[in-house]
A and B are shown apart, each in its own frame.
Chain A
Amino acid sequence: MKAICWEGVNKVSVRDVPEPELVNKQDAILRVRRTVTCGSDLHLLGGYIPFMRSGDVLGHEFLGEVVEVGPAVHERRVGERVVVSSFVACGRCWFCANGLYASCDNGSTNPAITEKLWGFAPGGCYGYSHALGGFAGSHAEYVRVPYADHGAFPVPDEVSDERALFASDSAPTGWMGADLGGVKSGDVVAVWGAGAVGQMAARAAILLGAARVISIDRFDYRLEMTTKHIGSETINYERDDVDAELLERSGGRGPDVCIEAVGMEAHGPAPDHLSDKIKQQLRLETDRPHAVRQAIYNCRKGGTVFVLGVFAGVVDKFPLGAAMNKGLTIRSAQQHGQRYIPMLLDRMARGDLVTEHLATHELPLQEGPRGYEMFKEKLDGCVRSVFLPNG
């Protein structure tokens, strides 16, 4: 079958690879209907998460049709249209039982790697390096889904493929930032990043009752999209002073909840961005945390900063003094998709949550390299490149 594979730093190709097989009794095989690029893939492409091997299939946000199930799969059926959480989780360990699915104890086949890096191992993730389980990704005609009863969710008939696709990762990730960030009625919420996850976080904050939601980015086309489809206010940080704007728009208090949806390759106008870029290239720090610093600085006293963006290693000049002296709560997580996907599909069915606009480019799988180039370089107004592996 055809698949989009990681070949090396900044090298992606479409190759013939073996079709996946049922390996565990709780596996399912999906025929992939739609699969989409994610900003966190760019960290893999750029070599910032150095646990990829040549030939690894990329992709972790997808939807498909069940074509085969293992003998211990009881809930899913052949022929069902399902959306799959990007994180592989067993659904039965203590972490899953407590809604912390991305921290699943049984979702990775290589837990020693991340235990060494981070102290403990999170769950696995499709197409996201051997540090997160080494599972083949979804940019392929078929994909293996472990723990299918716990990670694959039937899509209601009234929700289109185009909309449901983003229930796999972007929507639950964004929702989690607002939910676990504690957004409540009357809050002022600032969201760094107006990509798909940032837009979903902003929409979640609105639906959870925030009085004002302010999205921050440098691309006007993304900010205009956010205003039109999500309904939040915007700041272009290349034109406007973020600190001053947030202070003015929050009555001098600062945002109650600051959601960072940018990750380890953040840009920013301040001198620390240049310093971060040099240090990252020289591997003196692994991640560029500009947006996190700005979120901590601007958050109100006693407020919450939620880090949704993907980080892999260590950062420099982390403003711990500001966080401590202002009494901030700092939370973060990989996405607990299984916790939110059924609710999000219901909201999609009701029209509360729309996502189709995020798929700015739809391409056949064979155009994977071009799709990633447009996505990475933000060409032609690209927000997300969606691949259709089976036409």
Chain B
Amino acid sequence: MADPWSLYNDKVVEHFKNPRNVGEMEDPDGVGRVGDPVCGDVMELYIKVKDGIVVDAKFKTFGCAAAIATSSMVTEMVKGKRVEEALKISNKAVVEALDGLPPAKVHCSVLAEDALKAAIENYLNNSPSPL
């Protein structure tokens, strides 16, 4: 019925079991919500920006282990990055940082990239003097 999770490597499983940066954020500077519960995954990503640098990131995710692990990883990757650098984080980079995902699960990493982009766009739209 489900995809064999045995194909997940140790790093993915570790991020699934102990996800970093879980939770909502009070007064975020940007919020991105992507996905659809009907399709089985929804990701919400919150960022805090100070002087053009992403100083904090948090997430909430409904989805499979790959969706949760990529959420965890993308929030780790974005912290400390300048906003313009953060926009360049690709799903491929997230997958590589997790040492790979099963082919059928790569689409979950697209969700992570999309959530991050949505959060940054939300920040840029709200910010009086972006970047």
Question: Are A and B interaction partners?
Answer: no
B residues at A contact (CB < 8 Å) = none
A contact set with B: CB distance below 8 Å: none
